[in-house]
Structure 1
Amino acid sequence: MDAERISAMFTRGDGSYLCARWGRPIVPVVFGVEEATLTVVKGAVEAVVALAGHKMAETDAELGANLMLFFCRDWAELRAVPNLDRLIEGLGPLVDRLEAAGANQYRVFRFDQAGAIRACFVFLRMDAALASVPAAPLALSQAVQVILPWSERAFAGAPPLEIREGVAVLKPEVAALIRAAYDPVLPQVARDASHALRLAARVTLAGGAE
């Protein structure tokens, strides 16, 4: 994974570059799933957080929970979630756009004054495509996508997971990139694409050490 590819994974449609870490321990809460699936989702988040060398906590002083995952069958269900419109500005128009686009997932990141991630809201509409994915790989994929603010196209052509001996696991290069982004030597927030060069150097070192 070279610097050019890494840069593309954090470059938005408007050409801006952003790579940011969580600036506080992650506190997940999951809505709309059964207890068994809840355990799988939280386990996947814990695994990716541990991979990054970051921390989790029981509660967030500001929000209570700062990583909220909503599973629904129809986007319209979000309109009925109590107080969700207070957390997500413009919830009504957002639901309209998701319905019009036929989308099955959406993520909203919130950042603190320094630019670090302070919260993330994940919305999954369990259409036929998502419903066909087993809980474990679906949860792991979502955990990967909330640990950093990837670009919209980051995993469009190459998903972050691969199958090994019948089990979905995180690709080594993606795992190395996550670890690199959370290296305390690197800035918590980077908006210059030259940052990708530093990430690439660490990913290369990680590959050489394996």
Structure 2
Amino acid sequence: MEDTTQDIAALFTRADGDYLCARWGRPIVPVVFGVDDATLAVFKGAIEAVVTLAGHQMAETDPELGANLMVFFCRDWSELPEVPHLDDLVPDLIPLVARLTQADANQYRIFRFDEVGAIRAVFVFLRLDDHLAEVSADTLALSQAVQTILLWSDKAFDDTPPLAMVDGNAVLRPEIAHVVRAAYDPVMPVMDRDASHALRLAARISRVS
């Protein structure tokens, strides 16, 4: 599929009609809670692959938070309030757990931003219900990695997921990879609320694809 400005704009146009694209403004330091070492390695590998695709950086520690991309696995949302100090990072944790439980959700992401609007932290919550339990660690890890490398629209992947299956393996759809690379071009802003941003992304993609 050929990238068009309209397609790209849809990825960052929220349900309320506002356009917003933001990328990380600092190196990414991931940590994953609630999984074994093998799954941890898969997640860190997927994050590193997407960070490399973007031309961004990872680091061993974040000077402000220690880790700034935190992934929490649980079997039930009621487990989250039991995580030590999580309520310090997510002050509205109790009402959030109530909303996620009521919605029967299996995943949720919270983005935090710095003073210029760049991403400074992401908290990912995954509840291993029957659906997620059937998804391979590789697919789940890559899906979360791409959905946290940029602030996408809240409806960006409602119709078409960011991944495709090729020979039984999950891969990033080429048009999404193009957008990630273009958004991290050094001349592009770390955050933009103007839809003309999509036109600039499309121009960069057309030059390299």
TM bucket, shorter chain: over 0.9
1:89 is displaced (CA, Å) by: 2.0
| Match status 1:2 vs 2:4 | yes
Q: Which amino acid aligns with 2:8?
A: I
Corresponding residue of 1:77: 79
1:172 is displaced (CA, Å) by: 0.8
Stretches of structure 2 lacking an aligned partner (at least 5 in a row)? none
| Match status 1:134 vs 2:153 | no
Match of 1:93 among 92, 95, 98: 95
Corresponding residue of 2:149: 147
Corresponding residue of 1:52: 54
1:70-105 alpha-carbon deviations (Å, 9 max, x no partner): 011100000101111110121100110000111110
Matches within 5 A, 1:18-57: 18-57=20-59
1:114-167 alpha-carbon deviations (Å, 9 max, x no partner): 100000000000111111011001100000000001111111111111111221
What secondary structure sits across from 2:87 in the alignment? Answer: helix
Measure, in 1, the Cα distance between the counterparts of 2:62 and 2:129: 31
User: 45-54 or 159-168: which moved more?
Assistant: 159-168
Measure, in 2, the Cα distance between the counterparts of 1:71 and 1:204: 39
Is the 1:22–1:147 contact (alpha carbons within 8 Å) kept by the matching residues of 2? yes
What secondary structure sits across from 2:108 in the alignment? Answer: strand
Q: Which amino acid aligns with 1:11?
A: T
User: TM-score w.r.t. structure 1 length?
Assistant: 0.96
1:18-51 alpha-carbon deviations (Å, 9 max, x no partner): 1111010000000000110000000000000000
1:205 is displaced (CA, Å) by: 2.4
- When the two structures are aligned, how many residues end up with a matched partner? 207
What secondary structure sits across from 1:98 in the alignment? Answer: helix
Match of 2:19 among 17, 23, 26: 17
Stretches of structure 1 lacking an aligned partner (at least 5 in a row)? none
User: TM-score w.r.t. structure 2 length?
Assistant: 0.97
Q: Which amino acid aligns with 1:123?
A: F
Corresponding residue of 2:174: 172
Measure, in 1, the Cα distance between the counterparts of 2:81 and 2:54: 34
Q: Which amino acid aligns with 1:177?
A: V
Matches within 5 A, 1:117-132: 117-132=119-134
Q: Which amino acid aligns with 2:94?
A: G
Measure, in 1, the Cα distance between the counterparts of 2:105 and 2:205: 32
Is the 1:173–1:203 contact (alpha carbons within 8 Å) kept by the matching residues of 2? no
Q: Which amino acid aligns with 2:188?
A: L
Measure, in 1, the Cα distance between the counterparts of 2:164 and 2:22: 25
Q: Which runs of 4+ in 1 moved over 6 A?
A: none
Between the aligned residues of both structures, percent identity stands at: 67
Measure, in 2, the Cα distance between the counterparts of 1:103 and 1:165: 30
| Root mean square deviation of aligned Cα | 0.8
What secondary structure sits across from 1:156 in the alignment? Answer: coil
Measure, in 1, the Cα distance between the counterparts of 2:208 and 2:172: 15
